Amino acid sequence: MDWKKIGNKLLFPPIWLMALLTVVSAGLLITVFVKGWEETPIAYGAYVLSFYTLSVVTVFCVLVLPKQYEKIKKKIYDHPFGNRYMTDRAFRTKVSLYLSLGINLLYVGTNLWSWYLNRSWWFVVLAVYYVIMAMMRFLLVGYVRKNQIGSSVLGEWRRSRICAYILLLVNLSLSGAVLMILYQNRGSHYPGMMIYVMAMYTFYSTTHAIIDMVKYRKLGSPVMSTAKIVSLSAALVSMLNLETAMFAQFGAEMSVEHQRIFIILTGAGVSITVVTLSVLLIVKATKEIKHGKE
């Protein structure tokens, strides 16, 4: 038996298998924590599978991906879809809108299913939040599906203003989430190493959203700018969720009062930022619409 060959296959599985393992591991962990099976054999199996998945993905990113970077990049640019995605910002925005809408709808379904299993209003609050985000992305997707980005700036401003009004509703679900975190000890919880993965993803998505919002603003497309504002708002709410998970994981020595102060300050900061972005977008859109009608 060739143990070296077996070891290589275990450490370097195909990309499609890593993607499948990631989805299965995430599904198992969600089921374990939603059902309260933390001390069952199913949970231990989920932990082992998640650890293995994280290990092979890390090995791939550290040892394989850097060596294959140029080769992968060439394959992407040689493919018509990949070339267009990498070189056409409007097309890339359209694809990201479709993907984010699909992910939002998946989150809505997951939280409604969790509410059905647990009858906890925490999942209803999260479902409402993702419904609001999905509404905005649905409006943007509907626009870019029927219209070419940049073909009608006035039409884009109208759609952006509608999204900005809807974005104000995020504060309702955000306020409900903060109140439940403060007084019902609700919040996000990530097992083991998952919290580090989520922390890296949250900081990356926030930084990327800020950079994109500034970069796409220079292109003069209200729809593209609005899409990035929505992404930034989602990333900021994810920061609040990460904070609650950090307290649950590492905040045993911090008093409840101090934790509440940090949560209140973070929640207020996120809320003020979202409201400010919404109001600025509404004012700008209204001004541009009036100017376009003159």
Instruction: Grade residue 189 by pLDDT with cuts at 50, 70 and 90.
Output: low
**According to the model, what pLDDT value does residue 47 have?**
83
Average pLDDT value for residue range 9-34: 80
Average pLDDT value for residue range 218-245: 80
- Domain ranges in the chain are 1-87, 88-293
- Using alpha carbons, select from 193, 189, 286 the residue that is nearest to residue 244: 189
Secondary structure letter of residue 187 according to DSSP: -
Asked if residues 209 and 235 have their Cβ atoms less than 8 Å apart, the reply is yes
Rounded distance, CA 175 to CA 292, Å?
A: 36
Residue 229: both structure tokens together: 């504002």
**According to the model, what pLDDT value does residue 94 have?**
81
What's the predicted TM-score (pTM) here?
Answer: 0.69
Asked if residues 264 and 283 have their Cβ atoms less than 8 Å apart, the reply is no
Question: In whole angstroms, how far apart are CA 74 and each of 19, 61, 66, 67, 184?
Answer: 22, 18, 14, 13, 52
Residue 252: both structure tokens together: 């045993």
